[in-house]
Structure 1
Amino acid sequence: MDTSQHLKEHLVLLFLVTAALIWSAVKPASYLTWLLEVSPAVAGLLIVILLYRRFRLTTLSYAIISLLAISMFIGGHYVYSNVPLFNWVKDTFDLERNHYDRFGHFLKGLFAIVLREILLRKTSLTRGGWLFLIVMSMMLAIAALYEIIEWIIGQLAKQVKQVQDFLGTQGDIWDTQWDMLFCLIGSILAWLALSKIHDRFLKKPL
């Protein structure tokens, strides 16, 4: 596949992400919650765009980044604890909470493939146990950092309802631990399911 075809695919992904961002900004449940939820995704996307010419990733990695950004935009628009589809799941199966937040953290495990690509291309690490261990450790570190940032924001604005919506604990004192566990499970499954596919993408010209 030539470079021009890759560029077309990447532009399509950029268009989809931009459209999702614009949609999410139209009458969200709360503009403060929306800002808190989408800011990390927007910051990450800007970094990816700025580095596009210097360090171009595979289309698979860009697709993963796009999917993760869109999932965060959806959560920002509705508030994670009130995403309609997962409210329906909650009511249909008589669950105690809306699980979109759990799903979002599970989905973030896909980012393990992006880290895998960066380490394979920018370090001397090779495929094997050490690469797996380091990527999983990095994913847990990222998940922990995100939870720490959430906790700091929550401590700074304990009485602001929109901030509590951003935290999305839904009364679960173990919410932080569950979020990190789901991210780890998602990372392991993404590794098992996508590593061979990822290797084929890495063999293609960027």
Structure 2
Amino acid sequence: MEKDKSTSFHVLLLLVVIAVFIWSVYKPAGYIIWTMEVLPALVLLMVVLFTYKKFPLTTLSYFIIALLSILTFIGGHYTYSKVPLFNWIKDYFDLNRNNYDRFGHLLKGLLAIVIREMFIRKSAIKKGPWLIFVILSTSLAISALYEIIEWLSTKIGKGGKPTKEFLGMQGDIWDSHWDMSLTFVGSILALLFLSKMHNTQIEKQKNYN
């Protein structure tokens, strides 16, 4: 019964993600920048769908993946520096930039929970300080890799408009440092506040299998 409820919720998450994806692809700010922004999320979603039966994740992990995919689709539709809500926040609080990108990188720290699940279920590393160290290191490595890809896009694209929008620096030379730092902070917060819930769901997942 519990498994059926989880499966129904997973299907609901998928339908919501598909709905936002369809909206995102309809008249985005530009199809080149849209493709550059949403491609990582699409690849992750494909992996999750193909492994759903062979290696089902916890509901918490699926929720995080769905949430981050939706955030990516929104950013791809408008470009990260022009998301309307954060433009309003920028104007209302007289900020120097649209902070949707910064907000997104903070939430990308939630991937630490998905990484945690991989290590707990597929490695010999036991829960404790070393597991936390490996999770945070992996999260930072993924964040750094993404920043390197953004940097390479400016070299390959020769600094055109799509690549500048993909980079999304908004004039801040420390943008990459901010992005990685916020992902690191988000990862720490995710482990602090969600690990207990995650442990409970992992135990249930073992019972399902």
TM-score normalised by length of structure 2: 0.96
Deviation sequence 1:131-154 (CA, Å, 0-9, x none): 100000000000000000111111
> Which stretches in structure 1 are left out of the alignment for 5+ residues?
none
Alignment match, 1:20: 20
* Residue 20 of structure 1, CA deviation: 0.8
Indicate the larger mover: 27-36 or 157-166: 157-166
**2:81 & 2:159 partners in 1: Cα distance?**
18
Read off the aligned partner of 1:54 and give its amino acid letter: K
Deviation sequence 1:12-54 (CA, Å, 0-9, x none): 1110111111010011111111111000000010011111111
**2:128 & 2:115 partners in 1: Cα distance?**
14
Indicate the larger mover: 26-35 or 157-166: 157-166
Read off the aligned partner of 1:113 and give its amino acid letter: I
**2:7 & 2:191 partners in 1: Cα distance?**
26
**1:196 & 1:146 partners in 2: Cα distance?**
29
**2:195 & 2:159 partners in 1: Cα distance?**
44
Indicate the larger mover: 104-113 or 3-12: 3-12
Answering whether residue 64 of structure 2 is matched by residue 64 of structure 1, we say yes
* Residue 3 of structure 1, CA deviation: 2.6
Deviation sequence 1:46-78 (CA, Å, 0-9, x none): 011111111110011000000000000000001
* Residue 9 of structure 1, CA deviation: 1.2
* Residue 201 of structure 1, CA deviation: 0.9
Read off the aligned partner of 2:89 and give its amino acid letter: V
Alignment match, 2:184: 184
**1:135 & 1:161 partners in 2: Cα distance?**
35
**1:158 & 1:177 partners in 2: Cα distance?**
22
1:81–1:165 contact (8 Å) kept in structure 2: yes
**1:178 & 1:120 partners in 2: Cα distance?**
29
Read off the aligned partner of 1:85 and give its amino acid letter: L
Alignment match, 1:82: 82
1:83–1:100 contact (8 Å) kept in structure 2: yes
Give secondary structure in 2 for the equivalent of 1:173.
Answer: coil
Correspondences of 1:109-120 after superposition (within 5 Å): 109-120=109-120
Which consecutive aligned stretches of 4+ in structure 1 deviate over 6 angstroms post-superposition? none
**1:89 & 1:143 partners in 2: Cα distance?**
26
* Residue 202 of structure 1, CA deviation: 1.1
Alignment match, 2:149: 149
Deviation sequence 1:119-168 (CA, Å, 0-9, x none): 10111112110010000000000000000011111111124201111110
Alignment match, 1:52: 52
Answering whether residue 129 of structure 2 is matched by residue 129 of structure 1, we say yes
> Which stretches in structure 2 are left out of the alignment for 5+ residues?
none
Give secondary structure in 2 for the equivalent of 1:56.
Answer: coil
**1:202 & 1:85 partners in 2: Cα distance?**
36
RMSD: 0.9
Alignment match, 1:139: 139
1:158–1:164 contact (8 Å) kept in structure 2: no
* Residue 4 of structure 1, CA deviation: 2.3
Alignment match, 2:95: 95
